[in-house]
Each structure stands twice: as C-alpha cells, then as structure tokens.
Amino acid sequence: MNSFKRDYLPVIAAVLAASVVSGIWYSSFLFGKQWIALRNQYLSVAPNADVAPWKPLVELIREVTVSYVLSRFIAQLGIDRLRGALSLGFWVWLGFPVTMLVGASLWDNKPWALSLIHGGDWFTKMLVMASVIMFTRRLAGTSAKDSVSQEPSNQGATRTLMDR
C-alpha cells in the first residue's frame, strides 16, 4: 500500500475541504458579518482588515492537526462507511470544540452567539473532514481490513463502537 495515498492524501483532502467550509461559513453569505460584529464587540476593537501574517500559518497547522487526528481515529476504528464517519465527526465535535467553546462563554464571558457561530463551523468541518478522510481512504484502496493490518495497536478494537 502506498503510504502517501493511505496516510497523507486523506489529510490533505480534509484540510482543503475544511478551508472551503470555513471560507463559506465566515463569508458575508452566511455568518461573516455577525462574526465580525460580535468579535469586535467582545474584544472592544475597531474592525481591522489586516491579518497578522503568522495567523494563517497557525490556522493551517490547526487544520492539519485535526485532520491527522481524525484520520488516525478512522484508521484505528476501521471506519469505511459514511454513517461511521459522520458519527465520529459528531462525537469528536461534541467532545472537544463544543466543550471548549462552552467554557469560553461560561468563564471568559465570550458572547454565546459568537460561540454558536464557531460551534456551527466546527460541526460542519468535523462532519466534512471525517467524511472526506473516509472517502479518500476508500478511493485510495484502503479498506478497514488494510487499516487493521497496518495499525498493530488496532487488534483489540471492537466494531460495535460505530457502524463502520
């Protein structure tokens, strides 16, 4: 099995898909105007069109990290069906971004509406990323059986956790 197709291509495809999703989510067509207004109100700053040059790089690293972790989960769990990918995306979203966003609103007085906007973006991205990773692995010829044989720590995994 070509390791690029199995390990890297799904991550790259998911990062590209997540970038498209967030680009649309934060555009003026969906929640961009509300996001900017709430952000500026929360931070008490004037709108600023300039983005620090290091921020897109950090965002890319964040997306690659999330994609890689999702890809590892999909491989370890042997997920090879859309239902399993969507289920994983939902539970990862609920367990991580949601809990952090609720904490930011609860303890740091971040506006709940701002957390809802970010939470919706993360929900959409998690579903899309998990699905893209699963489909890319499938198109690359990587099946759940291949994942099990490639991942030695997967030998004790149970298939009842999710419909794969």
pLDDT tens-digit readout, 100-134: 999 999 999 889 999 999 999 999 999 999 999 99
> How far is it, in rounded angstroms, from Cα 109 to Cα 72?
34
Angle of CA points 11, 16, 25, to nearest 5°: 125
Q: In Å, how far are 89, 108, 109, 116, 135 from 37, measured between CA atoms?
A: 29, 18, 16, 14, 37
Alpha-carbon distances of 59 from 15, 28, 52, 93, rounded to whole Å: 10, 20, 12, 17
Considering the entire predicted model, what is its pTM? Answer: 0.81
pLDDT of residue 6: 81
Question: How do residues 49-84 score in pLDDT, each as one tens digit?
Answer: 677 889 889 999 999 999 999 999 999 999 999 999
Length of the chain: 164
Dihedral sign computed on CA atoms, order 41, 44, 47, 52 = negative
CA atoms of 9 and 59, how far apart (whole Å): 19
